[in-house]
Amino acid sequence: MKLHQHRIGKGPELIMLHGWGLHSSIWSAGDNNLAEQLARHYRVTMIDLPGHGNSAALNEGFNFTTAIEIIADQLPPAAILLGWSLGGLLAQQLARQLPQQISQLILLTSTARFTQAEHWAAAMPTTTLDSFGSALSKNPAATVQRFLALQVRGSDNERQQLRDLKQALSESPSARPAALSSGLNILRDTDLRPGLAHIAQPTLCLYGQHDRIVPAAIGPSMATSIPQARHLTINGAGHAPFLSHPKQTGQAILEFIND
């Protein structure tokens, strides 16, 4: 299966994986957007996950293993890998499986486990994702809109961010229902905590102060579990700091890569 990819810029390879319900256009949303910042220094490839945007859908959606296999087949060698939210969950596993192919890892408001568990309280209750799953079966479009609102809640420039998210969403085909359901299942069920110690790449864990989906309080646990990781919290940001604080987000990423 060939995933849709959009490339800009020249230089070393940098791959970007988006979050649930969206597509690669999100990286180009807003002024001074993250894709443009990074493309001044790198060859940036933005990938649409299966069934999202312009990527074809699998008939029954996809599971975590299938998504990893499909993305892995299309990654260039010696790439920097950046994943946001759900994309960050996929990026963690790809970094483990392809240590020679991925040079650095950037996890943008992502985590090894999205739902609460023992010794993992700084996460969403499983019931929250279950409620999204129940609503998804009745009205997929409304459920995605509700999730967009949750992503920006409590952050600076909340209304503008929501406008940017909705505008970006409208620029490519909407995610198919089976893909949306698959993504929620991955967010609810995946637990990568046991494998964090095996991520060999230098890693940046970047969080938003007011994130309601991946609380910034998870940052220290992520950074201490990954051998070569550091974490940073952007004040005033929610789940999409690259929209609310694009300059700070871009600067933090570039400083990490060049360190």
C-alpha 116/C-alpha 67 separation (Å) is: 23
C-alpha 200/C-alpha 22 separation (Å) is: 29
- Is residue 63 within 8 A of residue 182, CB to CB? The reply is yes
Angle at CA of residue 94, ends 30 and 25, nearest 5°: 20
Q: Enter the tokens of residue 23.
A: 């597509």
Element (H, E) at 16: strand 13-17
Catalytic machinery residues = 85, 211, 239
- Is residue 64 within 8 A of residue 93, CB to CB? The reply is yes
State the Cα torsion 21-130-141-4 to the nearest 10°. 20
Q: Enter the tokens of residue 88.
A: 């960050």
Listed in sequence order, the DSSP H helices in the chain are 34-39, 64-72, 86-97, 126-138, 140-152, 158-169, 177-189, 219-225, 241-244, 246-258
